[in-house]
Chain A
Amino acid sequence: MTAETKRIDITLETSLESVALAEDMSLRVATAAGFGDDECHRIGMSVREGVINAFHYGNSANREKKIHLAFELTPEKMVIRVLDEGRGFDLTEVPDPLAEENLLKTSGRGIFLMRAFMDEFDVARGPQGGAEIIMAKRFPPARQSNPQSTGGSSSTVGKEE
């Protein structure tokens, strides 16, 4: 992480309340970083879907497990990491919700929505296992040429809910 990168780390309970909390925090960070309303909506929804994924599929709603959320602001983009304490998963094995046979499924659209709403999206294995969703939204070119407009001043913040 370079000196120009600002990072916020948050540890969340595996609970429904964490979904809205994570989304709310992401909206605050995205707004402070200078994203417009539409982009903030996409970032907030992607964080919501990432935390839902960690809650349901990663941690299987087990309250003893945690969800680790991080926001990084670089001069070029906002990077979001959502790490669960589950078994991890292979992105290539996630069914395509747009396939004819999956259109009427009642679940399985979260990953698709994150991919659609963010500029970068990947899933990695976490340092101690689990799945880490890593996604990013790039700043518009005008914002990148004026990185001083980045909101906030904290470098690393830890919070245990």
Chain B
Amino acid sequence: MNLRATARDVGEVTVIDFGGGITLGEGSALLRQMLRDLIAKGHRKIVLNLGDVNYIDSSGIGELVGGFISMRNQKGELKLLNLTKKVQDLIQITKLYTVFDVYSDEAAAVRSFRP
């Protein structure tokens, strides 16, 4: 259930493609570190592509929320893309759909950021 992550730029937006699981331990730590590094480098428009994430636990949810708060504190935005059914169910039952902007189309997610 290891987490893999690759960042790429689409114009001014950074898209991070994740695969595996965002769970207590290395998965959560990788997500936290990656967001921390991107924020430190000045990135303020970030999309987390979770299309290949098959598992998230409460720790992983906490990291997503932590990333959202960090970005907001830096006047940036963090959005979610391509949720698998299991992840979508979790976002739904935890009411985090009221917090995150979620997209199923990458182009639409990239266009959604304020200029």
A-to-B contact residues, CB < 8 Å: 16, 19-20, 41, 45, 48-49, 52, 97-98, 103-107, 109-110, 112-113, 116
Contacts and interface: CB of A to CB of B under 8 A. Distances in A.
A52 B28 CA distance: 13
- The secondary-structure label for the interface of chain A is helix
Given A16-B25, A20-B1, A104-B65, A49 B58 contact: yes
Contact of B95 (A20, A49, A98, A110): A98
Given A113-B58, A113-B90, 4 more contacts: A52-B59, A106-B62, A107-B59, A109-B62
B86 A41 contact: yes
B22 interface: no
A103 B53 CA distance: 22
Contact of A106 (B57, B65, B90): B65
14 contacts: A16-B25, A19-B24, A41-B86, A45-B57, A48-B23, A49-B57, A52-B24, A52-B57, A103-B96, A106-B63, A106-B65, A112-B94, A113-B93, A113-B94
Contacts, number: 48
Closest 10 CB pairs of A and B: A106-B62, A109-B58, A110-B58, A106-B66, A16-B25, A98-B95, A107-B62, A106-B65, A116-B93, A48-B57
Contacts of A110: 58
B16 interface: no
Interface string B37-51: 000000000000000
A104 B95 contact: no
B64 to A, nearest CB: 9
Contacts of B93: 113, 116
